[in-house]
Each structure stands twice: as C-alpha cells, then as structure tokens.
Amino acid sequence: MTQPNKQLIKKFNELYIQTRSKYLVQFPDRYVTLTYNPGNRVVKLNDGLLQTHLNGDLTYGIFSGGHFNKFMTFDVDVPDEAMSRWATLKLVDVLANEYNVSRSDIHVSLSGSKGYHVDLFFDERVLVTELQRFYREVMVSVGSIPNGQIEFRATWTQGVKLPLGVHQRTGNRCWFVDNFTLEPIESFDYLLSVEPMPASVVTEIDFGLTDDQITEFEHIATSTDTSVNAVDLSQALHNAVRIIETGRLTQSGTRHKTTFTLACFGNSQGWERDDTVSVIMDVLLATPREYFSEGSTPEHWLNEANRLVDYVFDKGITIKESNGHVTIYKSEILAVLDCGTFRQKQLAYAMLVTSKRYGNVFYLTINTAMRMIGTKSRQTVQSAIQKLVDCGFIEYHRKGEIDRARSKEIGQVRYKPNKYRLMIKEPATDEESFRALPEHSVIDVATMLLDTTEIRRFVKRREYDNRWKDAVNGE
C-alpha cells in the first residue's frame, strides 16, 4: 500500500490512538520509544506516520493515555507456534463463553513473529486500572500458559504494535485473522468493519467525563507525568507554590493544568476535598478574565475542580518532593520554643516548616494541623493557632472568609481555608543551622541547635521532664 488511505487512518485514530506525544518505533533489532516535548526534534504521532506504518516502511506502536484507554490488548507471547495458537484460541473461547463478549467484538491479529494480539475496543474510554482488573479475571479463567504468557497492553509504560504493519525483523505483515481458525485475513479493509463494543461489558464504572474532557485530562496528566501515584516532580511543587503565593493564574491558558496541580498539592498536604476545591476556586476567581478562553465560566471551573479533585483523591495522586529537607536556623527554633505549651511549640514548628516549603504566606487547614501535632482535638489546634497569633509568631492573612461559590453549590455556608503569614525575623546568613528532614521533630531539631541551658530557658520543668529530658541526655 503506497497510496494514502484516509479511511484506514481515520479508523486507526478512532480505535487505537489515545496519546500522540509518546509512541514506539520498531527497527529490525530493537524498539525505540519516542516522546514529543516542545523544543525537541520528535514529531507527534501523525497521519503521515500511520501511512508509513501501513506502507510497511516503518512499524509503529502506541501507549495508553496514562489513566484511560479506549481499547485493550491481550498480547499472546509464546515461543512455540502450536502452543501460541492453542493459548490464543483458549483466550478467545473464555472471552466469548465466560465473559459474554460477542465473537464479532474479539479482533485477533498476528504479532508478526509467532504470537497474536487479541484486541477489544470500547465505545467510551475506560480506566486502565479497570481494564487491568478485567484482564486479571480473564487470565484466572484461562489458566497457566506452558512456556509462555499473555500480557496486558497498553499502559503508559508498555506499548503495543499497531496491526497491519510489517514486522521489521521477520518481514511478516501483521494481518488480522479469523478468530475461529486463526487463518490470516489478507485485507486492510478488515479494520474498516471494526466497531467498538459497549464498555459496560468489562466495567460498570462510569467516570462521568465526556470524550473531550477525558482527552483534555489525559493531556494534563501526561504533561505532568502522573503515571505513578506520586508525582515526583520538584517543578510541579514549585508551580503549585508559585500559584498559591501569587494568588492567581500566572499564565493564560493554564486553568486545567493548574486545577490538576493544585488538586495533587492539596492531597499531598492532607487537605480535605472541599478545602482543595476552595483553594482552586480562590485562585481562579482572582485571575483576570482575559487569562481564560472565551465562554469559560466560573460554574464550569467549579465543576471541573470538583471532578479533578475527586479523581486525584480517589486515586491517591500526590506531589512527592524530590528533596525533603529544609534548613532550620537557630533563631527560628528559639522563636518556636518561645510559643507556650508543647502542643503550641509543635504547631509553630510545623508552620515554620510549611512556610519554608510552600512560601511565607501559606494555607493550613485545621485537619492538617491536627495530623501534624498528633491530636484529635480541633479545640487544641484552634487554641494553639490563636496563641501563635497572640505571641506574634504568625498573623492571619485571611480568616473566616465565606466561599460564596462553594456555599451556593452545596446549599450551606462554607468558609475558605485560612491563610497565615510567618512573622518571625529573617535569620542571619551566618547563623548556625540544621538540615531537617520530614521525620525530624521539634525536639530533634532543637537538640541539634541548642544546648541544655538554652532549651531549659524556654521549657518548663514538667514539660522538660516529660518531653525533652531523654532526648537532651541522648537516651
């Protein structure tokens, strides 16, 4: 095939292509993964490359979108040809007879070597985790495969070759085959007859997103590398901090990415879902309208914020810091120790660390503060916060402000999370300091920077005996 076939390419796009920014190229001796980024020389997977694939000049493979996909492949990888045929036919039989998948919806193609690909296509995008769950159930029914395996494809990290190309090592065309006999159907037109099956056959979960919204979400997710639950990106953390400090979007056209980033940030900080949505809306409503596309409304922003926050919290997606230490100076720990009771000192230290990680003006919810100091009492935290305000350690940057959009949505008064500003003096550059990790407590840091006399000047005898003595004495 050398002439462009727009119908076939359109069908590839409809059935298989979930992301164009990452794809496989098969060479005779290896596979290469190409990833498009602005500024590099990699082109996105496009219709011209698909035509090259159909011509047999190069062979391409694709990945899932990261979280969603519109097809799944059972990759039958068995070196023995007879056993490979047996495993494929058994798999097709299990899908048809035990899982009620219509034979007309089971599409088998040659891998180009000795294996087969068994594809199912869906009428809406499905969570990859749900497809993997279905795959595992099916494989229990199929049972063990002697001297081989049937693997799940595609994911964000494991791609799969597109059919109808030429295997670059063997030179074999990867035709579709009859799913009863596995005899090749040597016609490109087979693909044109393929129609997606109802996704409800494999999952009862309806995520509630439109096709365009899922495509948009996948673009956001893949651009921030959320293929694992911890987004290990210092840049993502930096972006979240910068947005919160600025209080509005810092670039036009970034509402979706900002919403996703702040949702991950809120989950990382232990915020409640409502608090996270409030922070997102606080940022968006403070942004000049020219930063948004025409027709974009606060109601739509709120719906998207709720949707993405629920997804991020349900999937446990967080931003993981690549470097967890912060530098604590001697004058800062002295200011912490001057803050009253031990619980108040604990909270002051937690706020000091929070400000160093996320900016001098920061959010801290009551629930997060409770976890930070190990108490189940909201009153203890509220009293400690007021004490820190009274002694000049912090001040309120925002307090008790009603979240009108959220209140209107849920039919009761909701308040925006309070914001605080650290008020202690900047340390001198030549001050003694300690690089504290998340596991270091206020006691750990104080004993590294202060001697016993300095600690006892700020700590009452009973507190010292109950909380500090063993640590100071090295016990």
Residues 154 and 228 in one domain: no
Beta strands in 251-360, from DSSP E residues, in sequence order: 318-319, 326-329
Q: What is the pLDDT of residue 232?
A: 36
Residues 312 and 330 in one domain: no
* Domain carrying residue 161: 6-201
State the Cα angle at 193 between 188 and 195, rounded to 5°. Answer: 130
Q: What is the pLDDT of residue 92?
A: 95
Total domains in the chain come to 3
Q: Does residue 213 lie within any of the structural domains?
A: no
Residues 315 and 330 in one domain: no
Residues 286 and 186 in one domain: no
C-alpha closest to that of 17 among 198, 160, 222: 160
Residues 377 and 423 in one domain: yes
Domain boundary among 291, 319, 347: 319
The set of long-range contacts for 14-18, using a CB threshold of 8 Å and a minimum separation of 24, is 15/70, 15/71, 15/121, 15/191, 15/194, 15/196, 16/62, 16/70, 16/71, 16/162, 17/45, 17/62, 18/62, 18/63, 18/64, 18/65, 18/68, 18/69, 18/70, 18/125, 18/218
Domain boundary among 138, 170, 201: 201
Q: Does residue 215 lie within any of the structural domains?
A: no
Q: What is the pLDDT of residue 222?
A: 46
Residues 333 and 401 in one domain: yes
The phi and psi torsions of 71 (rounded to 5 degrees) equal -155, 165
Q: At what angle do helices 298-315 and 273-285 cross, to 10 degrees?
A: 140
Residues 236 and 195 in one domain: no
Q: Give DSSP secondary structure letters for 48-77.
A: HHHHHHHHTSSEEEE---SSEEEEEEEEEE
Residue 352, H or E segment: helix 342-358
**In angstroms, rounded to a whole number, what is the distance separating the alpha carbons of residues 55 and 433?**
65
Q: Is-above-0.95 flag for pTM? A: no
Residues 377 and 257 in one domain: no
State the Cα angle at 360 between 355 and 363, rounded to 5°. Answer: 65
Length of the chain: 475
The pLDDT tens digits along the chain (475 residues) read 545 588 999 999 999 998 888 899 998 888 899 988 777 788 888 999 999 999 999 999 999 876 778 899 999 999 899 999 999 999 999 999 888 888 999 999 999 888 999 999 998 888 888 888 889 889 888 888 888 899 999 988 889 999 999 999 999 999 999 999 999 999 999 999 999 998 888 875 444 455 555 555 555 444 433 333 333 344 555 566 666 666 777 666 677 778 888 888 888 777 788 888 888 888 888 888 877 777 788 888 888 888 888 877 887 776 655 445 789 999 999 999 999 889 899 999 988 988 887 667 777 778 778 877 888 888 998 999 999 999 999 998 888 877 776 576 667 787 777 888 899 998 988 899 998 887 788 898 998 998 888 888 888 888 888 888 776 665 4
What one-letter code names the amino acid at 102?
S
Which residues are bridge partners to 421 per DSSP? Answer: 361, 395
Q: How far apart, in Å, do the first and last CA atoms of the chain sit?
A: 79
Residues 280 and 422 in one domain: no
Structure token digits, residue 134: 């279905």
**CATH code of the domain covering residue 121:** 3.90.920.10
Residue 328 exposed, middle or buried by CB count within 10 Å (0-12, 13-18, 19+): buried
Residues 428 and 443 in one domain: yes
**In angstroms, rounded to a whole number, what is the distance separating the alpha carbons of residues 50 and 73?**
19
Torsion of CA 453, 454, 460, 465, to 10 degrees: -60
Q: Does residue 212 lie within any of the structural domains?
A: no
* Cross-sheet strand order for the sheet of 107-110: 149-153, 68-77, 116-127, 107-110, 176-177, 184-185
**In angstroms, rounded to a whole number, what is the distance separating the alpha carbons of residues 293 and 297?**
9
